[in-house]
Copies of this chain bind each other. A is one copy, B any other.
Amino acid sequence: MNSPAFRDWQSVQDEVLRRIRTRMWEPGAMIPNEADLAVEFGCARSTVNRALRSLAEAGWLDRRRKAGTRVAAQPIAKATLSIAVIRHEIEERGQKYSYQRVARTLSVPPLDVSAAMRMPAETVMLYIRALHLADDMPYALESRWINLQVVPGAQDEPFQNLSANEWLLRHAPYSDGEIAFSAVNAGEDEAELLACPEGAALFAVDRLTWDGDASVTKVRLLFAPGHQMRTKL
């Protein structure tokens, strides 16, 4: 049936997605080419292109030049997690945010840290440990190493009331980053700070940022037990 009118790319996208989800177009199967779909939907090829490109980005379609477009055999669900600044995360839920600096020292980081940051083992860095609280309950524990060779200005900051994260966002240029999620058991001091039993399973987020070849900062966020990151599929 020649469908009535798919005038904008979103409606084309919706229709294509519907066909994929209802298995009208089966996983792995080829779908008609852009020109044919444009005719069927009664719109321009670029509109179809926009819709299909967007679906390919989301992992629903595999596209290759000349080879054509096929439904992903393997819908690699791309879960997009928004890593907001913790203060905003908390305030958006209507809770009271507070921040508590636990430690601030100049010292030589453990070997795994200096290695990950690709700095000589004996390099002195700025270490900040702080607690983020929601409604006065521990929410996340932040442990951060800052490369003073890249961000010398950090040395003059107390980070007493302002989280290092927010300061760095504003002052430290960077070009790259990696992020990793994992689960770890709470150590003795971590358990105390987060007010949870030792050994509790904590959701951990590790971030490492680079400015060119130089590492800017390495941070681990340990969330209080029960923390979840959610997203639509």
Which positions in A face B, CB cutoff 8 Å?
Answer: 21-23, 26-27, 59, 74-85, 88, 169-171, 173-185, 199-204, 207, 209, 211, 223, 225-233
Contact = CB atoms under 8 A, between A and B. Distances in A.
A69 to B, nearest CB: 19
B81 A78 contact: yes
B27 A182 contact: no
B178 A181 contact: no
A200 B185 contact: yes
Main secondary structure on A side of the interface with B: strand
A227 B183 contact: yes
A169 B26 CA distance: 10
A183 B184 contact: yes
A233 B84 contact: no
Contacts of A84: 74, 76
B183 A183 contact: yes
Contacts of A74: 84-85, 88, 169
Contacts of A199: 185, 199
A224 to B, nearest CB: 10
A198 to B, nearest CB: 10
A182 B224 CA distance: 11
A211 B229 CA distance: 23
B207 A184 contact: no
